[in-house]
Structure 1
Amino acid sequence: MRKFLTALAALLMLAVVAQFFLAASGAFDPAPNDESFQPHRALGGGVVLIALVVTVVAATARVPGRLIGMSGLVAGLAVLQFVIAAIATALDGTPGGLVFGLHAVNGLAIMAASGRIVRQAGQLSRPGTPARQAS
């Protein structure tokens, strides 16, 4: 079960990296518009789903509570991305642009937490590694 958790955590990290790629490709489109960011938005929902699955699998695998909590944090931060985008869109103009900056900062927090999950899950999946040592 812990190896499965490690694989799911790696999938989550891959999805987060793909999110940055899709955001950049939408932003640097010759004529960026709402349609340019559609793949980024679609994968955002996938990141939320993957993070929720990682959280459930982590709890089922009986890993340390901090790892389960970190997985739940990623799911919460991913949902927050949609909230930030909605607020920024509602504000429009310069204030909306400043709020949208938080979207990128939050994305970096998601990436950092996902990387930590991958590292800790990988340590736990190695044979003979006690749970307390991996945290």
Structure 2
Amino acid sequence: MRKAFAGLATLLMLAVVVQFYFAASGAFSTAPNDESFRPHRALGYLIFLLPVLMTVVAALTRMPGRLIGMSGLVAGLTIVQVVIAVLAKAFGDGTTAGQLVFGLHAVNGLAIMAVVGRIVRQARELSRPAVSTGDTAEASGSAARPAQAAS
């Protein structure tokens, strides 16, 4: 189950990277905003649902509390993305205030990427099989003793 969590975390990182691509392609599109940002908005829903699923999986598999919390944090930061977009529209898309508020959307996106990066790193570490140092030391020590006894 830990490998499944690590796989979900990697999938989430890939989705976040693609989300940045969709944002950039929408920003430079000549189509109307509603049309040009449609893929960006659609992927945003997945980026919300995936960390919610990850939080449940992490809790059920008894992952460390920090990892469970960071998964939930990504879902929370995704909600903040929607709030920022709504606030920016309320201030007016073309106004300076609206643009300043909407700039926080990109900054929050970077925060999401940073948290997801930490989740991926920690999930990969936890999914690797543990190497027992005591067993390897004993094995190498017992193999070394006969050679030392012979000399």
Q: TM-score range by the shorter chain?
A: over 0.9
CA shift, 1:94, in A, is 1.2
Superposed, 1:1-135 pairs within 5 Å as 1-31=1-31, 33-92=33-92, 93-128=95-130
User: After the TM superposition, which segments of 4 or more aligned residues of structure 1 sit over 4 Å from their partners?
Assistant: none
* Greater Cα offset, 24-33 or 79-88: 24-33
Q: What is the Cα-based RMSD across aligned positions, in Å? A: 1.3
CA shift, 1:32, in A, is 5.1
Distance 2:70 2:127 in 1: 17
The answer for unaligned runs of 5 or more in structure 1 is 131-135
Distance 1:85 1:113 in 2: 21
Partner SS, residue 79 of structure 1: helix
Identical pairs, percent: 68
Q: Give the TM-score normalised by structure 1.
A: 0.92
Aligned residues between the structures: 130
Q: Give the TM-score normalised by structure 2.
A: 0.83
Q: Report the AA paired with residue 115 of structure 2.
A: A
Distance 1:35 1:57, change over 3 A: same
Distance 2:76 2:113 in 1: 13
CA shift, 1:60, in A, is 1.1
Cα pair 1:26 1:32 within 8 Å, conserved: no
CA shift, 1:61, in A, is 1.3
CA shift, 1:21, in A, is 0.3
Tell me the equivalent position of 2:140.
none
Tell me the equivalent position of 1:133.
none
Cα pair 1:12 1:114 within 8 Å, conserved: yes
Q: Which has the larger radius of gyration?
A: 2
Distance 1:129 1:42, change over 3 A: farther
Distance 1:46 1:90 in 2: 25
Distance 1:7 1:87, change over 3 A: same
The answer for unaligned runs of 5 or more in structure 2 is 133-151
